[in-house]
Chain A
Amino acid sequence: MPDILMSIRNLRTYFYTYAGVVKALDGVDLEIYKGETLGLVGETGCGKSVTALSIMQLVPNPPGRIVSGQILLEGEDLLKKSEEEMRKIRGAKISMVFQDPMTYINPVLTIGDQISEVILLHQDLRKEVLAMKIEDLRRKLEKVEPTSGSARDFNSKIEELEKKMNDPPKPSKSDVKKAALKKTIETLKLVRMPYPERVVKQYPHELSGGMRQRAMIAMALSCGPSLLIADEATTALDVTVQAQILQLLNELKREIGASILIITHDLGIVAEMCDRVGVMYAGVIVEYTGTKALFRKPLHPYTQGLLRSIPKLHKEMERLEIIPGSVPNLIYPPPGCRFHPRCLYIMEMCKKERPPMFEPEEGHYVACYLYGQRGN
């Protein structure tokens, strides 16, 4: 049984608007394991982005509010934390990469400044500053005669500093900034940014879309988070650039050891990137299993309909199958199972009570009465 990083229980997020109460999330249960890539897939309005915002507690308030539920990160409930505590978590333990890099990067700060800002907010860089000073001295040491007086000087200084490693002194502001910049460049190298030393001095508009998104991923990874949330991170990018970013994320998965929550509407991305996936519809999770199992044998009628309605590159389809009807109004969602008005396999039960999650096969969860009855 893999380690659980985050556990979401019965999350409900509502939006209070002029027209009524929009029940954007109405009882979401989810678990993210350590080191895995979990996909959250669904169409517009299903609540996948709201889930991400709820985890980060960035839901705009008003009109939104997390009404109930628990989000347990390493045993602690995030929903009980104060804003002050959440601020320490955002960017450090959990980071997020958003959809359109052009709109969520600050256009008047250089890339270096923006990433350094995150680092400076969350990390006390005393050790790094000390390490930098030691390295500086070592470089100077290399340039002089090993037996000269200056060499002995440098050596003694190095020894002195190394002794302080366990309790480094408080560094000056400029030193800290230099250390942050160094870390920024390291992180940019991690995301395979070409010419990182140049990029840190550049402004966002000087970079291309793909490079900007890389910079954002760098910003998200700069403090070594346990969870990276990618909310439609590649939707605004061109196909060939998207392929690069997806490849990058796949490689980083192994290198950084963080869990990744990929939120997307593109089932192709899910197939390529995710270990497990949750399908969302109208504010609830309807199917939840490993990726291969989902595509090989989709159980929920909505998932089946979804897979049959996308034009496929590798298969010929005369006519696309459509799911009849349309996404429900979340102010007045249908009673019982939210999908029942559009479902081909509807039964009486479906109209009355919302189905719980059944597990017809090991590790494969479906919220549908086709696979069980209440009380099973």
Chain B
Amino acid sequence: MSATETLLEISDLKKHFPIRGGILGRTVGYVYAVDGISFKIGKGETMGLVGESGCGKTTVGRCILRLIEPTSGEILFEGIDITDIDDKQMAKLRPKMQIVFQDPYASLNPRMTIKDIVGEPLFVNGIARGLELRRRVLELLLMVGLSEDHMNRFPHEFSGGQRQRIGVARALSLNPEFIVLDEPTSSLDVSVQAQMLNMLQDLQKKLALTYLFISHNLSVIKHMSERIAVMYLGKIVEIALKAELFRSQLHPYTQALFAAIPIPDPEISRERIVLGGDVPSPVNPPPGCRFNPRCPKMIPVCKEEEPQLIEVTKDHYVACHLVK
């Protein structure tokens, strides 16, 4: 990797959700949400994770924070394997890694005031109480562009963009080093999104934060990330530095993804790659390469053997039989 220190390293992360059925509630199958993911994030870097619904990107974010327990694999945060530690140690590490959720309407408790919501992390971790808590909450609100008047209001009195800012303020309250941004702007308007993205960039510089930016919107990921990983059905199909990925997409799914996004410029014409079929469900992944049923370039070996993620050119990894 590059010269920066590695903050987070994921090795062969898997998360399988059991499906219970039958009278006795036995496990009748699994949802292979995340099925063997490995990547590294350097300190101060923004790593983008892009994919469509069902690819597992949201689950990855939650596993890293151990909001969901991984089925197997290693998650090394600052060198410590957090899948292997007990609750007490995890509670100590928790403040260092936080998350901003996608839905600004559901991620804030509708019956709590902003002061309580943003102050809760400080309260439950015994960091501040009473007046000190108010001071800290005010600091955080100012940092995200809100004001003291907002402290004593309920979430429903705010717009989506403001609510998302509150979510960011809450994530910052414990002075984290690493923040998982789970589709933070997907439900926001374009102009509000621009404000939010600028703010996230400013905060990153000011507070030396490391981001994992999860999104299905490739344009936004391109704008924010230094490196980008493309996920499909629980697996990473391609990872590369941004410039490299935009210069040449090697995996057929990445190519289709790029081609599918409508570009706000009617003059530009592109090669039309429209994939047939729908995004499959991670319950019964196809054998061999997961993408083979929809892949326009499929060859027989794709149905039998799963391709491994290998470094094809410097720092550009692809999992595809066609690319060696």
Direct touching of A and B (C-beta under 8 Å): yes
CB pair B223–A314 under 8 Å, yes or no, is no
> For residues 243 through 273 of chain A, which have their beta carbon under 8 Å from a beta carbon of chain B?
243-244, 246-247, 265-272
Residue of B nearest to A310 (CB): B190
> For residues 239 through 288 of chain B, which have their beta carbon under 8 Å from a beta carbon of chain A?
256-268, 272, 274-276, 278-279
Query: Interface residues of A toward B: which range?
Result: 35 or more
CB pair A313–B222 under 8 Å, yes or no, is yes
Query: In the assembled complex, how far is the CB of residue A89 from the closest CB belonging to chain B, in whole angstroms?
Result: 31
CB pair B198–A322 under 8 Å, yes or no, is yes
CB pair A309–B194 under 8 Å, yes or no, is yes
CB pair B190–A243 under 8 Å, yes or no, is no
Query: Whole-angstrom distance between the alpha carbons of A365 and B264 in the complex?
Result: 20
CB pair A326–B201 under 8 Å, yes or no, is no
CB pair B267–A295 under 8 Å, yes or no, is yes
Interface assignment of A151: CB less than 8 Å from any CB of chain B: no
Interface assignment of B290: CB less than 8 Å from any CB of chain A: no
Residue of B nearest to A236 (CB): B53
CB pair B195–A311 under 8 Å, yes or no, is no
Interface assignment of A43: CB less than 8 Å from any CB of chain B: yes
Query: In the assembled complex, how far is the CB of residue A15 from the closest CB belonging to chain B, in whole angstroms?
Result: 17
Which of B57-65, B213-221, B311-319 is the interface stretch? B213-221
When the two chains form the complex, which single residue of A238, A246, A306 contacts B190, counting CB atoms closer than 8 Å? A306
CB pair B264–A309 under 8 Å, yes or no, is no
Query: Whole-angstrom distance between the alpha carbons of A246 and B274 in the complex?
Result: 10
Interface centre among A242, A267, A311 (most CB of B within 10 A): A311
Residue of B nearest to A267 (CB): B264
Residue of B nearest to A292 (CB): B266
> For residues 156 through 205 of chain B, which have their beta carbon under 8 Å from a beta carbon of chain A?
159-161, 189-195, 197-198, 201
Query: Whole-angstrom distance between the alpha carbons of A271 and B268 in the complex?
Result: 9
CB pair A239–B260 under 8 Å, yes or no, is yes
Q: Which residues of B contact A209 (CB under 8 A)?
A: 278-279
- Given A243-B274, A312-B263: A323 in contact with B219 (beta carbons within 8 A): no
Residue of A nearest to B243 (CB): A316
Q: Which residues of A contact B276 (CB under 8 A)?
A: 244
> For residues 49 through 103 of chain B, which have their beta carbon under 8 Å from a beta carbon of chain A?
52-53
> For residues 270 through 304 of chain A, which have their beta carbon under 8 Å from a beta carbon of chain B?
270-272, 291-292, 295-296
CB pair A239–B267 under 8 Å, yes or no, is no
Interface assignment of A241: CB less than 8 Å from any CB of chain B: yes
Interface assignment of A210: CB less than 8 Å from any CB of chain B: yes
Q: Which residues of A contact B201 (CB under 8 A)?
A: 319
When the two chains form the complex, which single residue of B160, B218, B272, B274 contacts A313, counting CB atoms closer than 8 Å? B218
Q: Which residues of A contact B262 (CB under 8 A)?
A: 242-243, 246, 266, 268-269, 271-272
When the two chains form the complex, which single residue of A240, A312, A320, A323 contacts B279, counting CB atoms closer than 8 Å? A240
Q: Which residues of A contact B257 (CB under 8 A)?
A: 239-240
Q: Which residues of A contact B278 (CB under 8 A)?
A: 208-211, 241
Size of interface on B: residues with Cβ below 8 Å to A: 40
Query: In the assembled complex, how far is the CB of residue A290 from the closest CB belonging to chain B, in whole angstroms?
Result: 9
Query: Whole-angstrom distance between the alpha carbons of A309 and B278 in the complex?
Result: 31
CB pair B266–A271 under 8 Å, yes or no, is yes
CB pair B216–A239 under 8 Å, yes or no, is yes
Q: Which residues of B contact A243 (CB under 8 A)?
A: 259-260, 262, 274-275
Query: Whole-angstrom distance between the alpha carbons of A327 and B264 in the complex?
Result: 22
Interface centre among B161, B197, B261 (most CB of A within 10 A): B261
Q: Which residues of B contact A238 (CB under 8 A)?
A: 52-53, 216, 279
Interface assignment of A44: CB less than 8 Å from any CB of chain B: yes
Query: Whole-angstrom distance between the alpha carbons of A310 and B261 in the complex?
Result: 13
Interface centre among B53, B191, B192, B218 (most CB of A within 10 A): B191
> For residues 26 through 50 of chain A, which have their beta carbon under 8 Å from a beta carbon of chain B?
43-44
Interface assignment of A74: CB less than 8 Å from any CB of chain B: no
When the two chains form the complex, which single residue of A244, A295, A306, A313 contacts B266, counting CB atoms closer than 8 Å? A295
Interface assignment of A305: CB less than 8 Å from any CB of chain B: yes
Query: In the assembled complex, how far is the CB of residue B265 from the closest CB belonging to chain A, in whole angstroms?
Result: 6
When the two chains form the complex, which single residue of B193, B256, B263, B275 contacts A314, counting CB atoms closer than 8 Å? B263
Q: Which residues of A contact B264 (CB under 8 A)?
A: 267-268, 270-271, 295, 307, 310, 312
Query: Whole-angstrom distance between the alpha carbons of A297 and B76 in the complex?
Result: 51
- Given A44-B189, A239-B52, A239-B260: A247 in contact with B274 (beta carbons within 8 A): yes
CB pair A320–B274 under 8 Å, yes or no, is no
CB pair B191–A309 under 8 Å, yes or no, is yes
Query: In the assembled complex, how far is the CB of residue A357 from the closest CB belonging to chain B, in whole angstroms?
Result: 23
- Given A238-B52, A240-B52, A309-B191: A326 in contact with B159 (beta carbons within 8 A): yes
Query: Whole-angstrom distance between the alpha carbons of A43 and B160 in the complex?
Result: 12
Query: Whole-angstrom distance between the alpha carbons of A311 and B222 in the complex?
Result: 8
Interface assignment of A344: CB less than 8 Å from any CB of chain B: no
Which A residues have a C-beta under 8 Å from some C-beta of B?
Answer: 43-44, 208-211, 238-244, 246-247, 265-272, 291-292, 295-296, 305-307, 309-314, 317, 319-323, 326-327
9 cross-chain CB contacts under 8 A: A210-B278, A238-B216, A243-B274, A267-B264, A268-B263, A271-B266, A305-B191, A313-B263, A322-B191
Per CB-CB distance, the 10 closest pairs between chain A and chain B, nearest first, are A268-B262, A311-B223, A243-B260, A208-B278, A309-B194, A267-B264, A43-B189, A238-B52, A320-B194, A271-B266
Contacts A210-B278, A312-B264, A326-B159 known; 10 new A-B pairs at CB < 8 A: A238-B279, A240-B279, A241-B279, A268-B261, A295-B267, A296-B267, A305-B191, A313-B219, A313-B222, A314-B265
